[in-house]
Amino acid sequence: MKTYLVTGGAGFIGSNFILYMLDRYEDVTIVNVDKLTYAGNLENLRPVEGNPRHIFVQADICDKAAIEDLFRKYDFDYVINFAAESHVDRSISDPEIFVKTNVLGTVNLLNCAKQAWQTGDDAFKAGCKYLQVSTDEVYGSLGAEGFFMETTPLDPHSPYSSSKAAADLFVKAYADTYRFPVNITRCSNNYGPYQFPEKLIPLMINNALQRKELPVYGDGMQVRDWLYVEDHCKAIDMVAREGRLGEVYNVGGHNERPNLAIVKTILSYVKEHVDAGVGEELIRHVTDRKGHDRRYGIDPEKIRRELGWYPETDFETGIQKTIQWYLTNQEWMEHVTSGRYQEYYEKMYDSK
């Protein structure tokens, strides 16, 4: 039996990873630590409610005593760190919380794992690994051509991506200084079930279903590489189990699309299958985000070559599955969009 500490497991990617792992493996137990901020939602984990191999603990990864207690209580084989503040707009208005969670929280996890696993100078319990889930945004912005590779210099442009780059460098420093067993994965934009609706795709789906305006930054021609979340979960599983120690692996979907094209695709689907009265007149171009990167694109050749991973879900299939999930889970959407986040969202876009 392998025991995982999964942080941020009530969030979008973390909850999908837990559902994937418990469905795929019978010999896995997961201790799920989440602070349950606005983007953490235990409804995401309803399919494993009551499963004895899923143990939920509400805690902050910055809380040293709480994390140390978990390492004393459980014999962890893996730490998978999803816990992060991840919304760029929020990082621009409040950078400090991003430094606290994304940087100091990561360092606290590293220290607790190092203390628990260390058996001697530069020696650690066999088979243990810390995996940092990062983002392609640490690389900055691409021109019209080329792709991010693992060797691309870090050049973050927002407080969010800067905090993730800083965390990555701490993970690398622990590998170099202490020979601590780590991997880092850097993924492109994820989409799929359970994504909090401050992000582009669920936000646009929700607004289209309600015939609300769809706010698009600038001209909407910012290009992103879209990765279906289940494909990402498979990659993380492979890297945790088989990735070479100390290595970074880029995880991309080979699905580059401009943001405006994504919005029009969603509108077209809703118009055809749900509400014929919905159209592109709902699109509203708003003032562009500060420091908005123009294009991201990932080269996933290294993870394909070394581990045999590839993105199995093409965008046309993935976006339809995603829209259909939100259509059949509108109660979930109503729950997560109620309360203080909805007020924050409306205020934020009314000011642009």
Alpha carbon distance 52, 29 (integer Å) = 8
Tell me the Ramachandran region of residue 349: left when phi exceeds 0, alpha when psi lies from -120 to 50, beta otherwise: alpha
CA 266 to chain centre: 21
Neighbours of 55 (CB within 10 A): 16
Catalytic residue among 160, 194, 228, 296: 160
Instruction: Give the per-residue SS3 of 72-104.
Output: HHCCCCEEEECCCCCCHHHHHHCHHHHHHHHHH
Which residue's structure tokens are 């969670």?
Answer: 101
Please list, in sequence order, all residues whose beta carbon lies within 8 angstroms of the beta carbon of residue 55, skipping any fewer than 6 positions away: 29, 30, 31, 32
Which amino acid, one-letter code, is at 269? Y
Q: Which of 34, 137, 225, 293 is catalytic?
A: 137
**The 3-state secondary structure of 116-165, one letter per residue:** HHEEECCEECCCCEEEEEEEHHHHCCCCCCCCECCCCCCCCCCHHHHHHH
Query: What is the Cα–Cα distance from 274 to 261, expressed in whole angstroms?
Result: 19
Q: Determine which one of 85, 136, 168, 231 is catalytic.
A: 136
Element (DSSP H or E) covering residue 246: none
Verify whether residue 136 is a known catalytic residue.
yes
Proportion of the chain in helix, strand, coil states, percent, rounded to 5: 45, 20, 35
Q: Are strands 54-58 and 123-124 parallel, antiparallel or unpaired?
A: unpaired
At position 95, the amino acid (one-letter code) is P
Centroid of chain to Cα 47: 20
Task: Give the three-state DSSP class for 167.
Answer: helix
Q: Which residues are catalytic?
A: 136-137, 160
